[in-house]
Structure formats: C-alpha cells, structure tokens
A and B are shown apart, each in its own frame.
Chain A
Amino acid sequence: QVQLVESGGASVKPGGSLRLSCAASGFSLSDYYMTWIRQAPGKGLEWVSYSSSSGETTYYADSVKGRFTISRDNAINSLYLQMNSLRADDTAVYYCVRVSRSWGFDYWGQGTLVTVSS
C-alpha cells in the first residue's frame, strides 16, 4: 500500500533553515509528480511546491519562492524540501503528497510540524 512518511520537522528560530524529508513506499516515486502542502495551526491548506516526476521541473508558491527548494532522489524513493530564511508565518504542518494524473492530491503523509519562533 502507498505510504508517505515525513520527517525533519522541528522548532527553529527566524532566519534559520530546515530540511524536510519524505520516504515513499508502495509505488515508484519516479512515476509521479510530488508536492508539499502546508497547514498553519487552525488555518486552511496552502500549496507550497511541486516537482515533476524526474525532478527537472519545479514550481513554488509566491510565499516561499526563493527561500524553499524541492528536490527528490528517485533511486531511494525520497522527496525533500529545503527551507531557508524561515519566518514565523512558515509555522505549519507540512504534508508530503502524491499528485495524481489529474492534479488531485491522492495520497498524503501524516505531516511534520515546523515551528518558527524566537
């Protein structure tokens, strides 16, 4: 069965950096686009970034462009999100999510909490 397991969430000071990882199993990562979606405490869902199946094409929300970098290692079925220059409003649960052929988000990880606070 499809499983996505995030790790790397932590508490960090403003301006700091963090790298999130997502271990995928039950399918071949190289066959799918993958995305990161976040949800601030008590707030709605916000799309953050996605990577094409090869990793050659990436897109970012304006709110994280230039600060976050999505990458993947298909050989080990892993997705990453490098987050730099973190701000308080980056505080959220970050979900690793598989993208279906029709741009639906069909499988979600349990999420990892990132807290940015001084």
Chain B
Amino acid sequence: QSALTQPASVSGSPGQSITISCTGTSNDVGGYNLVSWYQQFPGKVPKLLISDVSERPSGVSFRFSGSKSGNTASLTISGLQAADEADYYCSSYVDNGTLVFGGGTKLTVL
C-alpha cells in the first residue's frame, strides 16, 4: 500500500491560483473517480473539500476545485487567501478494497 505522491510544499501569493498534484497508479487514482481532498489546519481535524474527483460538499467555497488526468488528480485553489494556508491531503479508493492517502502538501501563502 504505497502512499499517493504529493509535493511536500507549494506556495503562492494572495489572489493567485495554485495547483496541488496527487499521483497514484491505475490501481487507485487512475482506475476510479473516487479521489477526495482534505484541508487540515494545525491542531485541527481534517475537513472534506472535494469528493468524486471534483464534487464540492455543501459549504465548501467555489474557489476549491478538483480534476483528474490519468493517474494524477489535482486540487486547484483560485483567488488564494491567507486563510487557505494549511495542509492538504488527497485520498483514493484502491482496487484491492483498501484506501490510501497522499503524504500531504503544506500550502504557504506568501
């Protein structure tokens, strides 16, 4: 069960757009549209941002969007705000019935 690959860190300036990638294999990310994204602030509980690759739960800002191409899923945050500074994780269903997370990406707003 290898973790999905995310960049350790990304950064951007307020108002910009940033994209966080999440790379897996055809056994997980590439094989199913069951990729989710989570936001976690220090000391806080993770929050679901995106499910089914690109679906936003009620209450999640439209500035967060998801997509997928092949074995790589992506989370895009547009109109970057200081309040978006957090850790972001992707997860995927795996064909052996298990689940897997990415290693996490720390977003810094410059």
A interface with B by C-beta (< 8 Å): 35, 37, 44-47, 50, 59-63, 95, 100, 102-106, 108-111
Determine if A45 and B104 form an interchain contact, defined as CB atoms under 8 angstroms apart: yes
Given contacts A44-B87, A45-B40, 4 further A-B contacts (CB under 8 A): A44-B103, A59-B98, A102-B34, A102-B51
A95 to B45, CA, bound (A): 9
Hey, which chain A residues are within 8 Å of B64, CB to CB? none
Determine if A103 and B34 form an interchain contact, defined as CB atoms under 8 angstroms apart: yes
- Find residues 78-99 in chain B having any chain A CB closer than 8 Å to their own CB: 87, 89, 91-93, 97-99
- Find residues 27-65 in chain B having any chain A CB closer than 8 Å to their own CB: 34, 36, 38, 40, 45-48, 50-52, 55, 57
Determine if B99 and A35 form an interchain contact, defined as CB atoms under 8 angstroms apart: yes
Determine if A45 and B1 form an interchain contact, defined as CB atoms under 8 angstroms apart: no
Dominant secondary structure at the B interface:
strand
A60 to B97, CA, bound (A): 9
Using a Cβ–Cβ cut-off of 8 Å, how many residues does chain B contribute to the interface with A? 28
Is residue B100 within 8 Å, beta carbon to beta carbon, of the partner chain?
Answer: yes
Determine if B89 and A106 form an interchain contact, defined as CB atoms under 8 angstroms apart: no
Nearest 6 CB-CB pairings of A with B: A104-B51, A44-B104, A104-B36, A47-B99, A102-B52, A103-B34
Determine if A47 and B34 form an interchain contact, defined as CB atoms under 8 angstroms apart: no
Q: Which of A60, A63, A105 contacts B38 (CB 8 A)?
A: A105
- Find residues 2-44 in chain B having any chain A CB closer than 8 Å to their own CB: 3, 34, 36, 38, 40
